[in-house]
Structure 1
């Protein structure tokens, strides 16, 4: 008899040990995986639609996936809110309340899977964006520093959403929470002069901004602390325990707001230039896009070849944000991506070369440019790198009134005169011309 009883007890224990844990069942089935898939799909569509603006630049990819939290956070909050109202929709609140588990355990069983799945969806979207950038990256390296803080913020939003879903008895709570979260984050992002903007986990940053090492940690403590404080205040038997994560969140928030712009510094690579000194002028690009130097130098090779032996030209083109010195010319901007450069390629090399020629001329905004000055500028631009739109505007003047047609004839004559010069004569003329660059000195501009 004792053996039978022992065998029966062993069988029950075996069956009980084989029953899946509620947390495992919630994580593998039901709404939580769908919520993660929704975050991944939504961010995937949004990132794919703006790929031209970030694909090919590691810093741009990091900034874009960081700002994607503006969508991921409210979406995770809505998912958590919908999960929080599950028992109410099923009319099983009273039955769920009779379970032997503690209230906090009953809360965390559906909450943690949604938080983890939505965070995983965001992390997967960011990882896929980095994989999409890798084949086209022209320099620099991946920038994953913001990912931990952003991922924790998405999980925290889901946890907060579940608390709202338990408290607010309405099916509209989830969409309204998503809208409120999006508007709230948008208002924080727009408050560029207020210290509270640094509390926004999706605050937009510059491509050259790099966080100090503890910024993601502080942001994670700020968002996770608020979420855990709300969860403990709602579900813990001793609600005073919510004060501990709340105090941590307040401390982290104070650090973020008090530090302000000191949370960010310029990436060291953004201050470096790499140059091709085999030409005159030399060609320099930002070190973040060092791989584009051969392509840029090739686009400008027609100009540098024609300027061989010409004096008074700038010694180099440089891609810098500050105003160029007399010995430098501003290289046409490679950034923001999506204009001159898309996926590591120049979109219009001819337009790029024409803009580089205009930078060499460096003619300031003269209030009353003379005809000699205008004809010389037009002839030099047409000789070195004509604008892709030059023929279009010439055709318009050819169909215009008498003054337009007369101006066109003079421009064509000046272009022809420069092109017809001998090599040495043209070099001398161009040397005299570039000696006047940067001024409005009419007398110094050579005639054609």
Structure 2
């Protein structure tokens, strides 16, 4: 323990850990929106930033590995009776301990941000993904330390840092998915939906690969000749074979897999029913009055929907059959995990007049639909730009036409206006063009 304390004071371990914490926490807090939705999003984003942290650990290990060469004590230490393994273990332990703690501190900084706003905690998956991330830093540092001792040039550390960035990046995008999942610490970590996770077999394969790199680094660190250095390649080969044997081949498990528990609906106990995914349960209280206001507006129509559900489909999924009496909406969260864009909820519920899009049929007329929806809302139509998330432009004539149609509806008796709006809704249900139905000139 005394030797370990000396290593912690005099080696590059603490410096490497400090850089890891600064870079990791800085990267997290620059893009809070990417992971504020939950614990797994945080774990995946932190893992994604290994694109920066892994090369830093590799370079730090290489810098530490040339210490004896830099101090010109290699020959002196070679004459001592103490085995090289015994001399290297404190250095290896210091690097492993400090970098693992640094990675956990980065993760803890993220937890401090979301701990009061997220209710769903997939503890096992979170711990596995985070643990493999910490292990990957240890593997990088030990591998760098071995290479730095074998090639103790001043340029080795920065060269390895650059090579590490390229290696992590291209290993994540160039090989087949199952190979990339087995060898790249950032594969599958880019967030594409809030229910995303990493399969445990993928984590297991990557853990095997990182242990293999760490063992190779250990052998290079203690190697005394070319035979031992050549033998150090054996763990890499065996680790690659074992990792690729363990990793699954199913694309659904490799590309943005879904945590089914996170996607389960959590609903209000009273009616009208409002449901959100479990990962967004913290916004249910805020969403409920807005969703019910939207249902109240739709209730003017005959056979109107009586429930609002979050749309939990993910990228590439087949459109499910529309549920009778249910309106689906997208849920987005803000930097503090709160409901983002609350002003868009009521218009979003009413905008399609309660008609669910099934992915096959939508013979709509945007101006007609907008005019009908805003008649139900009781206010003048407005552009979706600035209201609908992600909408950055639209044809200005669209809203002008909607306003004209809306004004025409307001001049009619309420019964006649409601009948025309109902006709628009029925046309959408029947996959027919609603053009002209509000003006009485339907084609």
- The bucket for the TM-score relative to the shorter chain is 0.7 to 0.9
Task: Give 2:85's aligned residue.
Answer: 104
Take 1:330 and 1:145, find their aligned partners in 2: how far apart are those partners?
Answer: 37
CA contact (8 A) 1:358 1:381 kept: yes
Q: Secondary structure at the match of 1:295?
A: helix
User: When the two structures are superposed, what TM-score results if normalisation uses the length of structure 2?
Assistant: 0.79
Give 1:255 shift: 2.2
CA 1:287–1:109 in 2, change beyond 3 Å: closer, same or farther? closer
| Equivalent position to 1:160, from 143, 167, 179 | 143
Give 1:93 shift: 2.5
Task: Give 2:424's aligned residue.
Answer: 433
Aligned counterparts, 1:160-179, within 5 A: 160-179=143-162
Give 1:40 shift: 0.9
| Equivalent position to 2:218, from 217, 231, 234 | 231
| Equivalent position to 1:60, from 41, 52, 56 | 41
Give 1:163 shift: 0.9
Task: Give 2:391's aligned residue.
Answer: none
Matched, 1:254 2:244: yes
Take 1:260 and 1:170, find their aligned partners in 2: how far apart are those partners?
Answer: 44
Matched, 1:202 2:186: yes
How many residue pairs align between the two structures? Answer: 408
Task: Give 1:126's aligned residue.
Answer: 107
CA 1:427–1:93 in 2, change beyond 3 Å: closer, same or farther? same
Take 1:392 and 1:289, find their aligned partners in 2: how far apart are those partners?
Answer: 23
Q: Secondary structure at the match of 2:26?
A: helix
CA contact (8 A) 1:320 1:330 kept: no
Task: Give 1:345's aligned residue.
Answer: 338
Larger radius of gyration: 1
Give 1:181 shift: 0.9
User: RMSD value over aligned CA atoms?
Assistant: 3.5
Q: Deviation digits for residues 313-367 of structure 1, max 9, x if unmatched?
A: 44544312152534366634225x5xxx33222332223433333343568554x
Take 2:366 and 2:188, find their aligned partners in 1: how far apart are those partners?
Answer: 43
| Equivalent position to 2:405, from 414, 425, 432 | 414
Take 1:262 and 1:32, find their aligned partners in 2: how far apart are those partners?
Answer: 39
CA contact (8 A) 2:58 2:143 kept: yes
Matched, 1:71 2:67: no
Give 1:233 shift: 4.5
Matched, 1:389 2:402: no
Give 1:296 shift: 2.1
Q: Secondary structure at the match of 1:146?
A: helix
| Equivalent position to 2:330, from 328, 333, 352 | 333
CA contact (8 A) 1:103 1:235 kept: yes
Matched, 1:303 2:294: yes
